[in-house]
Amino acid sequence: MEDAGIPPGAKAALESAEAAARISDLPVRLRALVAAEDRAGQFLWPLFRDLFAYVAGIAPEISLRIVEIDRALRWGFAFQLGPFELWDALGVAQTAERMARDGTPLPPPVERMLASGARSFYAAADRDGQPGTRYFDFGAHGEALGADAWRELEPRPGILSLAAIKRARGVIETNRSASLVDLEDGVFCVEFHTRSNALDDGVLSMIEAGLDRTARHGQALVIANQGEQFSAGTSLAPILGAAEEGDWSRIDAMLRRLQQIHMAIKYAPRPVVAAPFGSTLGAGCELVLHAVHAQASAETYMGMVEFGVGLIPAAGGIKELALRLADPKRVLDLIVSAKISSSAENARELGLLRPRDGITMNPERLLGDAKAAALALAGSHTPGTPRLAIPVESTAADEFAAWREAGRISGYDCIVAEKLAWVLSGGGSPAGQTVSEQQLLDLEREAFLSLCGQPETRERMAHMLATGKAKG
């Protein structure tokens, strides 16, 4: 049945959903949505209510533990939270009260659990700085149900949870954008937790802190997080704002900082391992390119997408692809097409991951595998030095004309592509000449700033910020 207030085909404007999208913490986001009184909340609350009632009622018939039900939904259906984990996130007691107000009977196992004094299906069981978890056993019996019904969840070797580690032993250092976490055995982890895990100044400061601590007190550094995506890159908003004000020095400073951090990652005295997964775009992709090793989730969608907003990569990505692929035409094709890998294996084929980089099939093992890779490298790691003689060559302009005639790129795209080709040629160096890594970084910044001065690029950036899509 169509809502009379919304024309067919129109996008519904749901204030609560738009507000919740800005909340990075999943449990907090879910509680906000379910509490909403608009159409979003009216849809979601009955959905969750009936799911909880059904799953808790049938659980004793299908599994000895609630743990297996949650795992089955996460592992088999890609849920971020299983049903009992989801119920904990929304608050078991509060949700039970609301179900009662609706006239929805609580399943007996949950009634017994609440009567025992328990208020969640899972609880922390940390000891001596080591994370642990216990779960409520629906099969427990006896008068002292509250104490006897809790069971310790067995540890799973190779599985690391940043949330559990931080809960058990806190963090070394934190700011609003990122945290530095001790993974033990001399391995530290920089975790970002910005919206979309964007690389802002707070993230870069924490990477600097992580590099410094690892150099002084550690064996290796891992750059990772366990959010919904590795990183969407950097935010366009401050770049567009500075461009519209003509504040080129501010944009130049942003780019220099990114480049310096990436070079510090690449040439750190201790190995730095990146653990990408999901969307790994723009500067997030460029960060991974600079790590001495990448341990990627099988489902990693990696690429440099700046071309779609009339820009080119400028955090060292062009430089790294020039070094890896040694073929300007392949680099041009990859960046102009804004190609995003369909998997980690495809990222290898594209040259975004190296043959020696690792791929983890089980997402829950990614952080543990990254730590293991970092330790394996620590004993033999020798920091390199920046390359001083990288061969460059020009790319014929008629290639762009052919792409335009084929409808692959527009007239303005040709201008952006020519800037990219100019960087790859070492700023128009004659064939057979060489340039240093720093010269390529300088050329990336110069070309990026030049494009920011173009009205068409600013239009494209504004369109992306307004719609979330590249301008057609």
pLDDT in tens, 333-382: 999 999 999 999 999 999 999 999 999 999 999 999 999 999 999 999 99
**1 pLDDT above the threshold of 80:** no
pTM above 0.85, yes or no: yes
Which one has a higher pLDDT value, 14 or 53? 53
Span of 224-228, 343-347, 468-472 with lowest mean pLDDT: 468-472
Q: What is the domain-level CATH number for residue 297?
A: 3.90.226.10
Cα gap 469→186, rounded to integer Å: 42
**144 pLDDT above the threshold of 60:** no
Question: In this structure, are 224 and 261 located in the same domain?
Answer: yes
Question: In this structure, are 352 and 418 located in the same domain?
Answer: no
CB 470 within 8 A of CB 460: yes
Across 401-413, average pLDDT: 78
pLDDT tier, 147 (very low <50, low <70, confident <90, very high otherwise) = low
- Side chain identity at 194, as an amino acid letter? T
pLDDT tier, 472 (very low <50, low <70, confident <90, very high otherwise) = low
Instruction: Say what the pLDDT of residue 309 is.
Output: 94
Cα gap 457→463, rounded to integer Å: 10
**Mean of pLDDT over the chain:** 91
Domain for residue 407, yes or no? yes
Span of 16-25, 94-103, 449-458 with lowest mean pLDDT: 16-25
Instruction: Say what the pLDDT of residue 36 is.
Output: 85
Domain for residue 154, yes or no? no
Q: Is the dihedral of CA 198, 204, 207, 213 positive or negative?
A: negative
State the alpha helices, DSSP H only, in 338-409. 344-350, 366-378, 398-405
Instruction: Say what the pLDDT of residue 361 is.
Output: 95
Question: In this structure, are 219 and 101 located in the same domain?
Answer: no
Cα gap 287→358, rounded to integer Å: 16
Span of 84-93, 107-116, 253-262 with lowest mean pLDDT: 107-116
Share of the chain above pLDDT 70, in %: 94
Cα gap 328→322, rounded to integer Å: 7
Domain for residue 327, yes or no? no
E strands, 304-362, are 358-360
3-state secondary structure of 10: coil
Question: In this structure, are 370 and 399 located in the same domain?
Answer: no
Question: In this structure, are 111 and 198 located in the same domain?
Answer: no
Cα gap 187→377, rounded to integer Å: 11
Residue-number span of the structural domain to which 412 is assigned:
390-467
Question: In this structure, are 296 and 347 located in the same domain?
Answer: yes
